[in-house]
Structure 1
Amino acid sequence: MLRRRRTLQCIRFRFWLPFCLALVFLSPSWAAVSVNVSIANTSPQIVYTPFLCNAATLTVDPDCKGAWNVSSIDGVPTISTDGPAPDGADIVPQMFMTFHASALYMSTSAVSNATANFTVSSSSGSVFRVVDSAAGLVAIINLVESELTSLVVTYIPGQKVSQLDIGSILITVSDPDASSFFIPSMTLPPSMTLPTFIPLTTASSASPSATSPLVRSIAHRAQIAEALGLVLGLGIGLSLIAGTLFFWWRRRRRLRAARQAWF
């Protein structure tokens, strides 16, 4: 009896084995396994504006103030910025990245405390979120891997100087070997204009608004001068004509009076 039960179990196993193998090969979750791939934050496919500096050059190159700086925080390669600086690069720091993935994870650091705008765009639509980088991790999920996704990280200037750090970057892909597909080269479109940070106290902020009224004032004065010149010209011309007719009429009257007295 025991041998019979074992035989039945063996037969039952042999019956389900082909069906189980079919599930293994036909199940989508088994056929396409997603993996996380690490992307270096200094990758050439990632564009930083206004530019990327080395932290060691801050002491010798004042233009690096307000830019992105390569450093290391707690042993993790980190790209940091303190935002636009009036005595350095007056451009709001931004990061541009395009990729094919179903998710993206970006870490900051323990000292990162700036607020940033994360804008994610693809052919399916566009969405943005204001993120506090002190949270330590930003997760962008439910992406369509077949679509090209663009990520723009924009530093938001505040009342106080704050630091924005970009640490590790992970993307979830189905084929980790197709690096040229899931992280293509990133180039800024020619029509893209970068935001410029200009303090309100500078004279340059008032010059654009003052130019237009000045031009309108000059044009208005020219029109007034032209109208006055036309009126004065007509007035003087009519006065000369009237004076000439008056003297002609008066002379003719005298001649007529002299002829009447003679006869």
Structure 2
Amino acid sequence: MNASRSIPLALLAAATAVLATACGPTSTTGATGAGSGTAAPGASAPVAGSGSASAPAPASAPAAVSARPAASRSAAPTPPGGKAPAAGGNAGSDSYAWKHPCDPGQVSIQVEYQHGIGDTRRIIVATNHGSAACGLSYYPAVAIADSGSIGSTSHPARFATPKVPGGLGGAPYTPIHAGSSLYAVLDLDPGHTTSGAVRGYDELDVKAADFMPDAATTNHPVKAQPGNSGNPYVKAPVLSLYRSSIADAVAQVGNLADFE
């Protein structure tokens, strides 16, 4: 889908604030675990399962931005050679990134499926197309949404947010160097069970960082894999922190003890 819809920033920000006050980044998306899929304004995070939320909504697809509450916009163009031009000593500087949060137009988001890491998992790729390093939050802001449940506010009325690892602490932002990518892995159904799972969600609404405006949300269609047809099962979804490699993000999302 190609239209951007905003993630309910109030909800995601609330969930993030709880984690961020006690945390800091570490070296590709927090919120509560799955359950009802309903959320109320100010709640720390909706739980996946079924139900509806009265709060605003979520985003997904190559990166971009738009007016309607989150639909994918086209990703920012990749510089020649796939690398952004160097910006003096700031292109790969962590200390510079800690003082300079990323602008929405500087970072693109893509959502990918790779059978090799598991059919319930999706890879969220954040790429810095700028000439200098910048800072992202510890994980992307993600909502798993029912795109057909549009309420009076034009936001999906039904969505779920994944749980993220606890015990965070460290620098103010996760650095992303110029021309580089970070990866977070989302597991829609880590228990691999159909019992109590929901199949109504068909979209991932994603922002590269929780502090970015809702207009930076991108919306990405999500289908059951393999086959790319029908809605996937969603139950107690979990999301890794941003990592420098897909393998590291997969390893974290596979350790469910980190999400307790």
Q: Which has the higher strand share?
A: 1
Q: Which has the higher helix share?
A: 1
The structure with the largest alpha-carbon Rg is 1
Tell me which interval the TM-score lies in, with the shorter structure as reference length.
under 0.3
TM-score by length of 2: 0.23
